[in-house]
Amino acid sequence: MTEKNLVITEKNDNFLTLEPEKTSKENIFLIIAIFGFILLFISWYQIESLLWNRIRYTTGSGWVSVAPIYQNTSLTDMRYMITSYLVMYLLGILCNFVIVAFLLKIIMIDKIWNEKVKKLTVVLSISSGLTSITGFWLFNSIWVIEGIKLITDTGQPGYDWVRIDIGDLSQFIFIIGIIISIIFFILTILTIIFLIGNREKKAAKPGMKQNVGDVIRNILLNIPFYLVLIFYLIFTLLPVYLTLKISISTFSGVSTAEVKEPIKALIINYSSVIFSVSKDETQFGSAFLRSIFLGIGTGTIGLIVAVSAAYALARFKFRGNKFFTFLIISTQMFPGLILLIPQYIIWSTLGLLEEKVVILGVLLASSTGATAYCTWMMKGYFETIPIDIEEASIMDGAGKVGTFVKIALPLVKSGMVAVLLFTLITSWQDFVLARTFIQAETKQTLPLLFYNYQNMATSDAPVYFDLVAPYSIIVALPIVTFFMLLQKTLAVGAVAGGIK
């Protein structure tokens, strides 16, 4: 039995013992947890889309009907679709309960606590929190729609509309939403408390006491730093706070700076952005997936091409090395707008601007622009690697390819993540390239969809800030999440582990 197959477990007598790690079961249940959440999220999104797909809040003029996505679908089929998605939603809930039962057994009965169990607990905590939000959103959506007094162009109240569409299912969704939101909110709190308790228990070490005077002295010495930090945080987070405040305000509340009925405004504003769409327009979900595809695709293609090119420029001495390096630098001297017209002509000639393949055309154009930047940045990272490490690897028989794959790439992992993140952000928020290439209304990306929201303003109606604000929050969330997940990798030095 090897050392990596053993885990520390705590028995009732407070003695630490080594036991074989149950890797297979924990990995299986981790897959079940992820699968259950994906199933739950997809079904929740589809249910909400079915609930909101026939009406739209136009801010200022009330509710109007739109051409629904499922316009040719009978009410019987509509109810059948919602019932099917509800079954999927409940299956996702069941997966969560299976994970809860497994964790209770392995932690409370078997007394096992290791990294895999901790990871599974963290996944359960996040999944439970998001599940609670979906339940909260479900019953509030029914409450908001049924509370609509009048849909202006049909003369029909929201209560009658939702009852005609889905019948008694609305009452079932309302009750299920309340139950799920409460249960999983409590479960989220319990898992967080459990994780914090185990973290503090692990961090506590006997004999590690600090003098109270030293603690007070350190705090007093750091007061100027904390004051500057607090001021900077206020200055930085104030726009975020105002955006969040506007996103839960009504149309009239934006001008008066008052937040009335924040829960109702939250559901109306965010649902109007995400779910309430017409069959003749770009859906938010489709635009979101296109932007994700363009961001990840651009970063991946640019990085794959750049890594090999940068390593060659940084390590190999050949005729034309400096010339190619100069070409890469020179491409960064000119604004990207200069390339738009030539690119548009070339792409149009190649047929890459046709509606069916226009997204691939945008991906190719975006990757072309990102490759030079990625190459230049990665060249700098490769040059920071001590040449002695690679020479030692070659002497051990790894060869140039083996040295590149097994030595150089792991040492520049943090640089690759930083370059990938920058490329992803650039492609994610790119407006000019998408606006130039994409002409079809049904192929828009998130920046183009945001542009349409701003263009709703006319001489008689101002910008719908109560819809623009939640749109801004939703679009910013993926990048913020990406930063939070990769912050440790970004902070690690490129060769810190290699030198050791």
Q: Are residues 196 and 296 in the same domain?
A: no
Q: Are residues 300 and 413 in the same domain?
A: yes
Q: Are residues 334 and 462 in the same domain?
A: yes
Which of 180, 203, 226 corresponds to the end of one domain? Answer: 203
Is there a domain that residue 267 lies in?
no
Is there a domain that residue 136 lies in?
yes
Average pLDDT along the chain: 79
Q: Are residues 467 and 362 in the same domain?
A: yes
pLDDT band for position 489 (cuts 50, 70, 90): low
Which of 179, 203, 227 corresponds to the end of one domain? Answer: 203
Q: Name, in order, each residue with C-beta under 8 angstroms of 13's C-beta and a sequence gap of 6 or more.
A: none
Is there a domain that residue 264 lies in?
no
pLDDT of residue 243: 86
**DSSP for 374-401, written as a single string:** HHHHHHHHHHTS-HHHHHHHHHTT-HHH
Is there a domain that residue 103 lies in?
yes
Q: Are residues 293 and 435 in the same domain?
A: yes
Q: Are residues 156 and 298 in the same domain?
A: no
**Tens-place pLDDT, residues 463-484:** 677 778 888 888 888 888 877 7
pLDDT at residue 164 is higher than 50: yes
Is there a domain that residue 249 lies in?
no
pLDDT at residue 1 is higher than 90: no
Q: Which two tokens stand for residue 108?
A: 């409370």
Residue whose C-alpha is closest to residue 93's, from 63, 130, 140: 130
Which of 203, 226, 245 corresponds to the end of one domain? Answer: 203
Through-space distance between the first and last CA atoms of the chain, rounded to whole angstroms: 28
Which is more confident, 125 or 487? 125
How far is it, in rounded angstroms, from Cα 260 to Cα 375? 52
Q: Domain range spanning residue 180?
A: 3-203
- Residue reference for tokens 């105002």: 242
CATH number at residue 350: 1.10.3720.10
C-beta separation of 374 from 306 below 8 A: yes
pLDDT of residue 282: 66
User: Could you tell me what percent of the chain has a pLDDT over 90?
Assistant: 9
∠ CA 174-176-178, rounded to 5°: 70
Is there a domain that residue 126 lies in?
yes
How far is it, in rounded angstroms, from Cα 484 to Cα 478? 10
Number of domains comprising the chain: 2
pLDDT at residue 393 is higher than 60: yes
**Tens-place pLDDT, residues 326-336:** 888 787 777 77
Is there a domain that residue 215 lies in?
no
pLDDT at residue 150 is higher than 50: yes
Q: Which two tokens stand for residue 359?
A: 């997204």
User: Could you tell me what percent of the chain has a pLDDT over 70?
Assistant: 82
Host H or E run for residue 8: strand 6-10
Is there a domain that residue 42 lies in?
yes
